Amino acid sequence: MQLLRTRAEGRVGLIDEVRGFAILCMVVYHGVYDFLVLFDVDFPFFFSPLMNGVRDLFAAAFVFISGTACRYSRNNLRRGALCFGLGLAMTVFTLAFVPDERIWFGILHMLGVSMMLFGLFGRVLDRLRPWLGLVACFVLFFLTWHVVDGYLGLFGLRFAELPPAWYETGFLFPLGFVGDGFYSADFFPLLPWLFMFLAGAYAGVYLRQNRLPAGFYKTHSAPLALVGRNTLLIYVLHQPVVYGILWLLSSIV
């Protein structure tokens, strides 16, 4: 959610636009989800594998771009602490007002921790060539995709079953080790999402060095770019605003 810079305009236009489009998709998704839950509407297609795949695709784009932004931040530790703090505020808000839709470790928590980890270990990670780090992070992302299901796997193959004891601790859920009964309306465990963030950080090396095509650095849609420059504010505010509007509608209807 950091501002990205180009040589002339101070922004990387296409990145702002993609990030803006991704956050708008998240707002729409959460709005529809809240509507279905609040009004108890039966719409199975929304929870189908196809829709879950679309949701994860846009989430991955958002996380990847957030990773590229760390290359432009002056202080990733402070930036990460702010993001994580807002995530904690979201946890408190949902527990207090909508406990059935509580958020224990959502995208803000994950991004905040990822930013802080990069701030602490970025120099160590940069010992790898950017292209090698990018490939390694993509492989690790898919390898750990099923950590929440109890195993490591790739392309439908199970490589290793993870110890059940890890899932029974009750406190390792930020890593994806969740036990029976765990629920978080918005859940982005560090495994696998940290690797998507780091993939973006490695790609950000090429972006920062102006080695990508000129079209990446131009703004093609001013409205989308504006949204992309304010993703953090939009993400923090959209859930209480959308839920508040729907709650008012439910009270009237």
pLDDT in tens, 18-37: 999 999 998 999 889 888 88
Digit-coded pLDDT (tens) for 183-195 = 999 999 999 999 9
Mean per-residue pLDDT of the chain: 90
Predicted pLDDT at 88: 96
- pLDDT of 202: 97
Percent of the chain predicted with pLDDT > 70: 95
- Kindly state the tokens that stand for 251: 């009270």
User: Long-range contacts for 72-79 (Cβ within 8 Å, ≥24 apart)?
Assistant: 72/2, 72/3, 72/4, 72/5, 72/204, 72/208, 73/2, 73/115, 75/119, 76/115, 76/116, 76/118, 76/119, 76/122, 77/115, 77/116, 77/119, 77/120, 79/1, 79/2, 79/115, 79/119
Going by pLDDT thresholds of 50, 70 and 90, the confidence category of residue 6 is very low
Query: What pLDDT was estimated at residue 146?
Result: 96
- The mean per-residue pLDDT over the stretch 129-137 comes to 98
pLDDT at 218 over 90: no
Q: Tens of pLDDT along 134-152?
A: 999 999 999 999 999 999 9
Cβ neighbours of residue 148 closer than 8 Å, sequence gap 6 or more: 176, 177, 178, 189
Length of the chain: 253
Who contacts 65 (Cβ-Cβ below 8 Å, separation ≥6)? 15, 18, 19, 22, 200
The closest of 194, 237, 172, 219 to 60, measured between CA atoms, is 194
pLDDT of residue 7: 37
pLDDT of 2 higher than 70: no
CB neighbours of residue 176 within 10 Å = 25
Mean pLDDT of 174-181: 95
pLDDT per residue over 76-110, tens digit each? 999 999 999 999 999 998 899 889 889 999 999 99
Please name which of 192, 85, 212, 98 lies closest in space to residue 149, comparing C-alpha atoms.
192
- Confidence (pLDDT) at 11: 66
- Region 226-246: mean pLDDT is 87
Q: Is the pTM of this model over 0.85?
A: yes
pLDDT at 73 over 50: yes
253 DSSP assignment: -
Lowest average pLDDT, out of 104-113, 150-159, 213-222, goes to: 213-222
**How big is the CA angle at 236 (ends 231 and 44), to the nearest 5 degrees?**
95
**Distance (Å, whole) CA 114 – CA 158:** 27
Is residue 40 over pLDDT 90?
no
Q: Which pLDDT value is given to residue 213?
A: 83
